[in-house]
Chain A
Amino acid sequence: MVKAKAIVLDGYGINCPHETAYAVRAVGGEADVRHVSEVTDSPALLSDYNMLVLPGGFSFGDDLGSARVLANRLKHRVGGEMTEFVNAGKLVLGICNGFQALVKMGLLPVPDFTQRVTLTYNASGKFEDRWVRLAMNQKSPCVFTKGIAYLDLPVRHGEGRFIPSGREVLEEMLGKNMIACQYISPSGKVDEYPYNPNGSVGGVAGVCDASGRIFGLMPHPEAYNHFTNHPAWTRGVNKVGEGLKIFRNAVEHIEANL
C-alpha cells in the first residue's frame, strides 16, 4: 500500500499550513510543510509527494486580487511539474486562498492553465468569519467529498464569490458534476445570505475537475479538526472533528489507488 504523503505549501502570507498538515497527519497521512520558494527553486521536489495542498491565507496580501501573484508564480515556475503531478493521478487540494490560486492559475475546473471561473469580492463587501453548512453533490466524481452528505465548516474570506466566465462553463461544470459542494440554508436554499456567505452563483462553495482529483473549496475543513471547533459543540452536536473526513477521503484514495 502506498502511504499518503502530502506537501503543504507555506510562505509569502499563506497562513494555515500547520493545522492543514495536522489534519493530514490526524487521518494517517504524512505531511511536510514546505516554503513555496523551495518548490519554485527545485520543482522536482513535487515528485516526492502524492498530494499537493495549497492552504488558506493571504498570499502576497491578496494585493491585485486574491492569490493572483501566487497563482502566476506557480504557473510560470512549476506549471509543467504540476501538470505531471496531476497526470500521474495524484491529488491536489486548495483551501480558501489555495482554491483561489487553483482557479486563477487555471488548474480548476479544467487543468489546462486557462482561467474559466473566478472567486471575487463577497457580495457583502467585507471579510466574514462564520460557519456555513455545505451540501455535497452525491454525483460528483470528487474523491474528497465521497460519502459525505452535509458538512458544517467555517468560512473566513473576503473574496469567495464564485463566478463562471459564461453559461457554457457553468453548464459543462454542471454536466460533469464538477460543482462538488454548495452552501445551503436550513430550508435548503442556496442563495440566501448569510448561509451563502459571499453571493456565489448557485451557492458554489467547492469545485473539482472532471477526474475529481483536483478539488478546491472556500470553507476550511482543517479548522474543524476537533469537535470543540464547532460553534454549537457546547450543545452537544457532535463528538468528532468532521472536517477531517475530507482529508481521510484523500488519504484513503491514495492508499487504494496509487
Chain B
Amino acid sequence: MGGDACRIEVRPTGNLRDPEAASLARQISELAGVRPSDVAIVRAYNIYGGLSDEEMERLGRELFADAVSEEFSFKEPFYPDYWRIEVGFLPGMTDNEGNTAREGIRDVLGKEVEAYASRVYAIKADFEDDAVLAEIAKKLLANEVIQAWKVYEPESGGFEPYVPRVELDHAPVAKEIELQVPDEELMKISRERTLALSLEEMREIKAHFAKAAVRKEREGVGLGRGATDVELEALAQSWSEHCKHKIFNARIDYSEEGDGVEGKEEKVDSIFKTYIRSATDEVRKPYVVSVFKDNGGIIRFDHENDIAVKVETHNAPSALDPYGGALTGILGVNRDVLGTGMGAKPIANVNMLCFGFLDGKDVPKGCLHPRRIAKGVVRGIEHGGNMVGIPTVNGSVVFEQCYTTRPLVYAGTVGLMPHAIGGRETARKEIKPGHLAVMVGGRIGKDGIHGATFSSQQLTTGIVGSVVQIGDPITQKKVIDMVLEARDLGLFEAVTDNGAGGLSSSIGELAQLSGGCEVHLEKCPLKYPGLDPWEILLSESQERMTLAVPAEKMPEIEKLARKHGVEASVVGTFTDSGRFHILFGKSTVAYIDMQFLHEGVPQMHLKAVWKDRMPIPPNKPLMQHGDALRALLASPNIASKEWVIRQYDHEVQGGSALKPLMEGNAPSDGGVIRPLLGRNEGLAVAHGLCPRYMEDAYHMAMNAVDEGVRNAVACGAKFGYLACLDNFCWPDPIKGPRNPDGDFKLAQLVRAARGMHDAVVGYGIPIISGKDSMKNDYHAGDSKHSINPTLLVTVVGKVEDVTKIASSDFKEVGDAIYVLGTTRHEMGGSEYFKLHGGTGAGMPRVRVKENSELYAALSKAIERGMVRSVHDVSDGGLACAFAECAMGGEVGAEMDLSLISKDTDEDAALLFSESAGRFVVSVREKDAFKFEKMMFGTKTKKAGRVRGDKRVVLRNGNNALVNEDVFDLREAWAGGLKW
C-alpha cells in the first residue's frame, strides 16, 4: 500500500497476563515441540486515508489504546526481536473491528477513512526455519478460508500496513446462456455455475424457455432466446434443496427387505405432507396460529401475545469456518423470527451442537480438528447471542465420531409478538401492488454467494471461497431494533429476512403476496463496485431484512433508519404482473413467470429400501457398577458442559427462571423464562436429540420426541400446551455411484418421519415448523464420511406459573424420592454399551399412551407446587439421572431399585438402561401421600430418600450396587471434558 496507508499497534502494558497468549504458548509447544519463552498478542489497525502523525497519536490515545491498561505504537512494531505472524482478513470479508474503528475515527477526527484490523502473534523461540511458523499460522492462528497470514523474521522490521481492499476491475454485465443444447451441455452449465440442478430440472427450464409464449413475452422486454445468468441463478436458488425441500416433497417408493421382513412396499407422496403436516392437522390445537407457511411457526402465548419459533442448521459453513459459520447461523435464525408474520422480537436462543470427539485422532485431510471446530462454534454462538442481547436458554453438545468431518450446528430462536397491532393480526403479511420493496441493514458484497445451492451439496476438499462469511451482531441488533419499532408504528405491511438466496429469495417470496415485483438492482447499496447483476440479486451478505412499505410511509422509515444508524434503500416495487422482473439500469435482466419460479420444480421420484442392520455387540462389562457410573458421568455426552454454558448469557432480558445450570451447577432439563416481566407466566424450551439410537430410525425419532416432551414437562410446561419443531440432518439419501446406500438412508428418513408423526400425534403436540439438511457427507479422495441420521426435536410449552416449577437438584434431607415410569431391559444404543465398545440390540421403545398419562399427572403435580425436584432420565440411565440430582443438591441420597416399576432384574439394566418415559422426582415426606394420590394409575414408585450424609447409594434389595461420595462423582462429571 502506498503512502496513504498507516498502521498502529496496541498491546497490554507491563505486567498484565494475557490468558489467550498463555494458551497459545501451550499450543505452540505441543505443535512445534519448541517451548516459546514468550508469546504476546498485538492488535493492529491499518488505516487507509492519509492521516498525520498528530492524528495517529490522538487516535492511539483516545480510541485504540486503553489509557490505563494498554500502549500503542504507530512508527515501529512491538516485539521486533520476536518471530511475528500477522493474520488479517481476506479482501471482502466482514471486518467488524475495522468497521467500528472507522466509525470511531469519524467521532474523534471527523474524518472518513477505511480501517482494517489484524492481529500480530509475537513468539520468542528458537525455531529452526519458517516452515514451523507456517504450520503454526495454519493450524493455530489463521483460517485460510477467510484470512491471510504473513511471517516476519526477528529483526526484519516489518510495519507494512495490511490493507485488504476489494478492487474489482470489472464492468457488470448480465450474460445470456443458450439452453437449447444437448443434455451433456445442460449438465455442464449446472456444474460450472454451481447451480446444483439435476438434469431433469435443467430440462424443465429448457422446455420452459423454448415455449413460444415465453419467448414472445421475453422479446417484449428486450431479452433473447436463452436465459440470462440472472434468471438461471434465481431459478437454481428458488429450486434448491435448501429452499424447496425436494427430498421431503419427493414421491418415494419405499420397501423393506431382509430376514424376517415381509417385503412390505409402500408409496409415499411427500414425506412432508404425509407425516409432518398431517400430524399437525390431526392434532388440531386451538393455540396454533401459523404453521409451515412463514419463516417460523407461531402459537398463542396468552390472550395478547404470540410466540414465534424457528430452528435452523448451519452445518456446512461451520465445518469450514466454525466461528463465522455458527455466528451467521445464530444471527440468521434470529432474522427468521424477526421475519415471521409482521416481526417477532427474539427473546431466547437455543443451540444444539454435534462434534467429533475433542481428542479426535483420525481427522481426514481437509477437515479442521474437532477441538478447533468446537471452540470456534462456541465462540460464534457466544458472540451471536450475547452481543445481540438474546439469552441462550437451552442447548446440548453431543459427541460422536461421525461428526468429525461434518459438525452439526442447530441454532434456534424464540420470538415474542403482540397477537395483533392496531386490530390487525401480527401473524399476517399483506402486500398490495405499488408497495415499495425496501432493503434494510447491511450492504451487498460478494460474500455468501451460492449459499442456498452450496448447502444442498456435499462438502469436498477444495470447495471454498465466497460461500463463507462472518456475521455482524451489532448491525443485526440495530436492524432488529429498527424493524420492531417500525412494526409498532405500522410503517410496513410485510417483512422477511434475507437469508439463503438473498434478495432473489426474499423479494421473490414476498412478491407472491402481491403477484409480482420489479426490482432495480442498480439501486442496491453495495460494499464495493463491480458486482454483476446476478451477484447483487443472489448475494447472501448478512444482516438484511426486506420490508414492503406503502410509499407514503417511506419518509418515516428513512427517519427511523437514521435514528438507528442503519441503511434503508428502496430497491423495487411489488406488482401484480405475475412476473419476477429484474432490471439493471434500463435493461431487463430477468423476467420469469412467478408460477414457474415458485412451483415449476418437478417432483423428484426416489427409491427407499429398508434393511435391518446388525448391531455391534459390546464387550462384557469388567467394571464395578460404581466405576461404570463414574466413567459414564465423565463420558463426553454426559459430562458437565459448564465450560460452554457459562460463556453464553442466559439472563439478558431479565426473565430467567430455570437456567441451564442452577445452584450447585445442577443441570436443567430445559430452560424457562418469563417473557413478560412483572408476570409469572413462563415459556419452557426443551429438546430431544438421540442420534446414538441407530438401530431403527423410526424408534430413534420417537425417542427424540419423547425426550423433548419429557424435558419440557420436567421444566413445568403444561402437558397439553406444547408445540414442537423438527430438524432432520441426514446423510445424502439419494442413491448414486458415489452413494451406493442412499436408498437405505432414504428409508431411514421415511421411518424417522413416520416415527415423529406417530409420537407427536400420540402426545397431541402440533409440529409448527421444521427444516432439513440433507447432504451431510464428506468426500476425501475415495472415502466417504457420513453422519448418523440425526433428528432434533425442539419443544416449547407454556408454564402457567413459574413460581411453582422445580429444578433437578435434590433439596432437603428426608425428602422422598420417586421413580416415575417403567425401567425395561432396553440397552441398545445406550451410553453404557458405548462405554464397552458397542451398540448392542434392543433400543428403547416409546409407549406413548402409558407415557401420556404419566406426563399429564406429573404436569399437574408440578403446577400445584407439589414437586421439589424433577429430572428426566436419559443418557446413562437411572443411575446417572439420580447422581445428577444428588450432585446438584450437594447431598447424599439412596434408592432401592427393587421397588421401582421394571421388567428386568438385571442390575446393569436397572442402573443404566435408557428406557424412555421416566423421571426422578423428590417431594417433601409430608406431601408423599398427596403426591401419590395425584399420580394414581401411573407407574410412580417411591424408592428412596435424600440422606443426611454425602453418599450416593443404589441397591437392588439388599444387594448394594453403587455407594459413592457425591463430591467424587461431581468431580468426575465436572472434569470429564477437556476443552
Query: How far, in angstroms, from A10 to B484 measured CA to CA in the complex?
Result: 14
* Residue A249 interfacial (CB < 8 Å): no
Question: How far, in Å, is B16 (CB) from chain A's closest CB?
Answer: 7
* Residue A35 interfacial (CB < 8 Å): yes
Query: How far, in angstroms, from A19 to B645 measured CA to CA in the complex?
Result: 22
* Residue A37 interfacial (CB < 8 Å): yes
Q: Encode B625-641 as 1/0 by CB contact (under 8 A) with A.
A: 00000000000000000
Contact of A118 with B68 in the complex, beta carbons under 8 Å? yes
Question: How far, in Å, is A168 (CB) from chain B's closest CB?
Answer: 13
Query: How far, in angstroms, from A68 to B61 measured CA to CA in the complex?
Result: 11
Contact of B16 with A22 in the complex, beta carbons under 8 Å? no
Contact of A235 among B382, B645, B805, B811 (CB under 8 A): B811
* Residue A117 interfacial (CB < 8 Å): yes
* Residue B481 interfacial (CB < 8 Å): yes
Contact of B388 among A15, A223, A232 (CB under 8 A): A15
- Chain B residues closer than 8 Å to A247, beta-carbon distance: none
- Chain A residues closer than 8 Å to B657, beta-carbon distance: 226, 228-229, 233
- Chain B residues closer than 8 Å to A148, beta-carbon distance: none
- Contacts A231-B661, A235-B811 given; does A225 touch B677 at CB 8 Å: yes
- Chain A contacts with B in 96-122, Cβ cutoff 8 A: 104, 115-118, 120-121
**CB-nearest residue of chain A relative to B392?**
A129
Contact of B651 among A10, A12, A156 (CB under 8 A): A156
- Chain B residues closer than 8 Å to A69, beta-carbon distance: 63, 100, 103-104, 107
Question: How far, in Å, is A7 (CB) from chain B's closest CB?
Answer: 15
- Chain B contacts with A in 1-21, Cβ cutoff 8 A: 12, 16-20
Contact of B662 among A117, A127, A225, A232 (CB under 8 A): A232
**CB-nearest residue of chain A relative to B16?**
A120
Q: Which of B218-226, B351-359, B470-478 contacts A (4 or more CB under 8 A)?
A: B470-478
Query: How far, in angstroms, from A156 to B478 measured CA to CA in the complex?
Result: 21
- Chain A residues closer than 8 Å to B652, beta-carbon distance: 15-16, 19, 56, 156, 223
Question: Residue among B103, B386, B654 with the most chain A CB within 10 A?
Answer: B654
Contact of A73 with B64 in the complex, beta carbons under 8 Å? no
- Chain B contacts with A in 58-111, Cβ cutoff 8 A: 62-64, 66-70, 96-97, 99-101, 103-104, 107-108
Query: How far, in angstroms, from A104 to B70 measured CA to CA in the complex?
Result: 13
- Which secondary structure dominates where chain B touches chain A? mixed
Contact of A37 with B104 in the complex, beta carbons under 8 Å? no
Contact of A220 with B651 in the complex, beta carbons under 8 Å? yes
* Residue B648 interfacial (CB < 8 Å): yes
Query: How far, in angstroms, from A154 to B656 measured CA to CA in the complex?
Result: 11
Question: Residue among B62, B117, B651, B678 with the most chain A CB within 10 A?
Answer: B651
* Residue A89 interfacial (CB < 8 Å): no
Query: How far, in angstroms, from A72 to B646 measured CA to CA in the complex?
Result: 30
- Chain B residues closer than 8 Å to A164, beta-carbon distance: 68
Query: How far, in angstroms, from A126 to B807 measured CA to CA in the complex?
Result: 27
Contact of A15 among B477, B656, B869 (CB under 8 A): B477
Q: Encode A123-148 as 1/0 by CB contact (under 8 A) with B.
A: 11111111000000000000000000
Question: Residue among A26, A129, A220 with the most chain B CB within 10 A?
Answer: A129
Query: How far, in angstroms, from A26 to B586 measured CA to CA in the complex?
Result: 58
Contact of A115 with B806 in the complex, beta carbons under 8 Å? no
Contact of A130 with B646 in the complex, beta carbons under 8 Å? yes
- Contacts A19-B677, A222-B654 given; does A234 touch B805 at CB 8 Å: yes
- Which secondary structure dominates where chain A touches chain B? mixed
Chain A: interface size category: 35 or more
* Residue A11 interfacial (CB < 8 Å): yes
Query: How far, in angstroms, from A226 to B474 measured CA to CA in the complex?
Result: 29
Contact of A13 with B477 in the complex, beta carbons under 8 Å? yes
Contact of A61 with B100 in the complex, beta carbons under 8 Å? yes
- Contacts A13-B474, A22-B654, A226-B677 given; does A231 touch B662 at CB 8 Å: yes
* Residue B963 interfacial (CB < 8 Å): no
* Residue A58 interfacial (CB < 8 Å): yes
Query: How far, in angstroms, from A22 to B481 measured CA to CA in the complex?
Result: 18
- Chain A residues closer than 8 Å to B645, beta-carbon distance: 129
Contact of A37 with B565 in the complex, beta carbons under 8 Å? yes
Question: How far, in Å, is A222 (CB) from chain B's closest CB?
Answer: 6
- Contacts A22-B654, A63-B97, A126-B647 given; does A13 touch B68 at CB 8 Å: no
Question: How far, in Å, is B419 (CB) from chain A's closest CB?
Answer: 19
**CB-nearest residue of chain A relative to B110?**
A76
- Chain A contacts with B in 222-252, Cβ cutoff 8 A: 222-223, 225-229, 231-235
- Chain B residues closer than 8 Å to A1, beta-carbon distance: none
Contact of A117 among B63, B68, B648 (CB under 8 A): B68
Contact of B68 with A163 in the complex, beta carbons under 8 Å? yes
* Residue A85 interfacial (CB < 8 Å): no
Query: How far, in angstroms, from A65 to B659 measured CA to CA in the complex?
Result: 29
* Residue B579 interfacial (CB < 8 Å): no
Question: How far, in Å, is B7 (CB) from chain A's closest CB?
Answer: 15
- Contacts A22-B677, A35-B563, A58-B386 given; does A73 touch B107 at CB 8 Å: yes
Query: How far, in angstroms, from A162 to B656 measured CA to CA in the complex?
Result: 27
Query: How far, in angstroms, from A142 to B744 measured CA to CA in the complex?
Result: 70
Contact of B68 with A156 in the complex, beta carbons under 8 Å? no
Contact of B474 with A10 in the complex, beta carbons under 8 Å? no
- Contacts A13-B387, A72-B62 given; does A19 touch B474 at CB 8 Å: no
Question: How far, in Å, is A22 (CB) from chain B's closest CB?
Answer: 5
Contact of A129 among B563, B647, B677 (CB under 8 A): B647
* Residue B23 interfacial (CB < 8 Å): yes
B residues apposed to A, CB below 8 Å:
12, 16-20, 23, 62-64, 66-70, 96-97, 99-101, 103-104, 107-108, 117, 382, 386-389, 472-474, 477-478, 481, 562-565, 645-657, 659, 661-663, 674, 677-678, 802-803, 805-807, 809, 811, 868-869
List of 4 A-B pairs having minimum Cβ-Cβ separation, nearest first: A15-B389, A125-B19, A19-B654, A63-B100
Query: In the complex, given contacts A15-B387, A58-B386, A226-B655, what are 5 additional A-B residue pairs having Cβ atoms less than 8 angstroms apart?
Result: A13-B478, A58-B389, A64-B101, A64-B104, A129-B650
